[in-house]
Amino acid sequence: MRSLLLPLFALTAAAVEQASNTYDYIVVGSGPGGGPLACNLARAGYSTLLIEAGKDDGDNPEVADLANFNAAANDPNMRWDFFVKHSEDPARELKFQHMVWRKRDGTFYVGLDPPAGATQLGIWYPRTGTLGGCAMHNGGVCALPADSDWNIVVNKTGDTSWEASKMRKYLIKLEKNTDAPAGSDHGVSGWVEISQSYGAVPAQGSDGWNIDTQLAIATGQNASNLASLVRRDILAGGPDKDQQTGFFAMSGHVDKTGKRTGPRWYIRSTLNDPAKYPLTLSLNTFVTRVLFSNDTANPAAIGVEYMQGANLYSASPRYKNGTKGNLTQVFARKEVIVSGGAFNSPQLLKLSGIGPKAELAKFDIPLVKDLPGVGENMADNYEAGILTLANRDLGDTGGYVVIMLNTSKTTHDRNIYAFCGSFSFEGFWPGYPTDYGPSQYECALVHMGPRSQAGYVRLRSADPQDVPDINFRFFESNGDEDLTEILDAVKTIRKGIRAVTGDVAPFDEQHPCAGTGAECTDEAQKDFIKTQAYSHHPTSSCAIGADSDPMAVLDSKFRVRGVRNLRVVDASAFPVVPGAFPVLPTMMLSEKASEDILADAKASS
């Protein structure tokens, strides 16, 4: 692999301009950050190359029908398998009930008692290598961050364009909201359809109605308004939106027929538009590094190097050891934009010579820019849940209902996003989830504003095809405060579930306090949550920060510090996790980056 790590590529700007395989912009990654950005640049008239390591799986029913999202995440034809750690403590790691091992025959074992000869892999963290990125296998849930999550960029950088009051315009620009009431501050003609298509209001007197009634009472709502409460718009604006608690409808990037929407379809519509926008899509294209000019004192990105071929990244279950693709180089007149996500963007920067000096020296990677924050300060939402089994099979539950709570003693903003219904969701492992049958009922919890931001993405080797070393270091900082907030939410929901009457009750809780009406200590429940918490919203591994912050990777315009013509536009850029689900904020971030990049292009022309 040493051939992939040549000294800085020495090309003058004139030589780049003369190259036939040259575009104005190169965007690496087609997910919620890179996909819309590439489309917007092309629609503004700039020749843009969009590079995606996977193929297009948009016609696969597992992907196209949002209800099949669990199958999509398990699909070996499109998934990437990362195996991560939650802490630096090997003994704690071995308490995770869904630990994954590789058996001698090459198949997976999931659990705490592996067979002889099995190799511990870690905690499964599925990503995707497909057109549209992780918006193609997620649950599609759309939620907005608190205003403070946007304003933190203002506070760090002084860039007032990030003020929360100015960020909603990007939601309106991208959104085609099919449930927005007339005159509301929603978009109705954007590129991604957003709707409340996750379920109907349960029929009065049904199991869902009875459960929701008790959950409403437990959370301090007027249950006589149940029908209107469960249809409340979770994406609505207003000065007190971040403090509103209680029931909401779940919104998602899904149309009224249940079909997934998102960046993939925006890319396809741009490619197929009669206007013939100058967008070029290169699938099955695995970028190995960013290329730079020979000005070592003032380095500038001039292109990328890639391998052509399917399943070239070892995270793919279809990867065959030793498979290589022919190395090819392609060039950018203006900029290279990296949008590989919170795992792959820092990996690509490091392989290209941008990152912590000592780490790059360890693998003999020529240094372009010493940026110690690359791959550090990674954060994620903590996720947990209260899973129960009803006394009999459940009837109509009406689909999902969202409950927003504030269990924090340090902020007025809500800090818990819970979604409840007849399902089971206990994290991720190959073949997930466990189906407990038609009596299952769960409220899954997403904890917002985690206090620990200690995770990292570090190289295992200088081989671009090797996956990085990923450790979230959960609960590293102020962990008990976070655990208390999660547990308080569990207790509130448990109070509602235990208040349900009729033959559907009592509910047999599976966790975190197993048993019908069982009493568990706070310490025991916190220990369960701490060891079994999971996540799937990684951010902040190439974070925007202040000029004075040595760990800042990007400035407020997404530019990589100390390097010209290189930006990162994806969830890794957020200084903190943006609310409960990053997919919609990342699409908004992409719209903002489009505006910033086009403004710079206009100013330089």
Annotated binding residues: 138-141, 287
Q: Are 250 and 267 in contact (CB under 8 A)?
A: no
CB atoms near residue 243 (< 10 Å): 14
Q: What is the DSSP string of 245-296?
A: -EEEPPEESB-TTSBB-SHHHHHHHHHH-TT--SEEEE-SEEEEEEEE-S-T
Q: Which residues of 589-603 are buried (b: 16+ CB within 10 A; e: fewer)?
A: bbbbbbbbbeeebee
CA gap 571, 127 in Å, rounded: 13
∠ CA 395-396-398, nearest 5°, is: 150
Place of tokens 């007849």: 422
CA gap 413, 408 in Å, rounded: 8
**Exposed (0-12), middle (13-18) or buried (19+): which is 527, by Cβ within 10 Å?**
middle
CA gap 365, 301 in Å, rounded: 16
Q: Are 277 and 43 in contact (CB under 8 A)?
A: yes
CA gap 73, 508 in Å, rounded: 29
Q: Mark the binding-site residues for FAD, compressed into ranges.
A: 138-141, 287
Amino acid in the structure at residue 20: S
CA gap 388, 499 in Å, rounded: 13
Amino acid in the structure at residue 320: K
Residue 133 token pair? 């990125």
- Pick left, alpha or beta for residue 424 (phi over 0 → left; psi -120 to 50 → alpha; otherwise beta): beta
